[in-house]
Amino acid sequence: MRRVWLFIGLAAAGIAAGVGMAAVMSSLQAREVSEVEDEVRSLATISELGGRAVVTGGDIDESNPYWQFIKMNLISVDFSELLARNSDTAGWVSVAGTELNLPFVQTTNNDYYSSRNFNKRRSAAGWVFLDYRNANALDDRNSVLYLKNELAEDFGDILYNGWLSDRANFVVKTAATDAGSGNWQVFTVYEGEGDDDAAAQVKFSNDAEFGLFLSRRTSLSQYDFNVSVSPNDKILTIIDSKGDKKLVLQAKLIKKS
């Protein structure tokens, strides 16, 4: 009987040690991710500039935050140091009210930066990257950015951390290395299954197909943003992988340089 209890005790100690080691590793990874984020942000010089409104369909109620967002300046980013560090630098994305305020990259596939950080070093957190099928100018019908929840960690929790309680948060700002800048108004956000890639469709054969895509995305939203979208719009999709789930946020272009 003593041997049984000794075995159980050793097993419990091993489990505890394993759990402790996992916690330590997770903490070290989080620290590393945070350090890289801070370092990369320090390489950019961000300023503001004016722009022009993008024509959208339908009347917009005077209480809609659109009227607040359309007055906002665009962001302009000096990418010179970022490009010197990583020539794959493709732009910058900032989601109001979150830590997602980082440069994004683009390469010839959607795998490389899922396991490497901005410095091209192996990292389970990966980096923010633009779908390889998209134009860097973010002028496709649907431009898609990917990241993992370990990066800009609070972004993946916007459905639950109070982000939705402040309508001033419903704006995304971008700047591209090869093109201009844009402000985008959020029209849908939802959680989907990890193998649901429907939101990442970037090519559409006609307006009708794109219209059905927009209707489906809007119907999935877990919050009513009261924003109309049409096949005339250009949208930005941000997909955050959270284990076996994906957080999907989509916004339409309302202002550009």
The string of pLDDT tens digits covering residues 29-56 is 678 899 999 999 999 999 999 999 998 7
| Pairing of β 74-78 and β 45-49 | antiparallel
Residue 201 lies in a domain: yes
Please indicate, yes or no, if residue 206 is contained in any of the structural domains. Answer: yes
190 pLDDT tier (thresholds 50, 70, 90): very high
Mean of the per-residue pLDDT values of the chain: 89
SS3 158: coil
In a domain, 140, yes or no: yes
Domains of the chain: total:
1
- Give the CATH number of the domain where residue 48 resides: 2.40.260.10
Task: Tell me the pLDDT tens digit for each residue of 89-133.
Answer: 999 999 999 999 999 999 999 999 999 999 999 999 999 999 999
The reply to whether 80 falls in a domain is yes
Compute how many other C-beta atoms are within 10 angstroms of the C-beta atom of residue 101. Answer: 18
Predicted TM-score (pTM) of this structure: 0.89
Q: What is the domain range of residue 212?
A: 43-256
Q: Is residue 30 part of a domain?
A: no
pLDDT at 22 over 50: no
Domain assignment present for residue 34? The answer is no
Distance from C-alpha of 181 to C-alpha of 20, rounded to nearest angstrom: 45
Let me know if residue 133 belongs to a domain.
yes
In a domain, 104, yes or no: yes
Q: How far, CA to CA in Å, does 90 sit from each of 185, 200, 203?
A: 21, 18, 20
**Residue 236: per-residue pLDDT:** 98
Cα 152 to Cα 30: distance, rounded to the nearest angstrom: 10
Contact 90, 108 (CB under 8 A): no
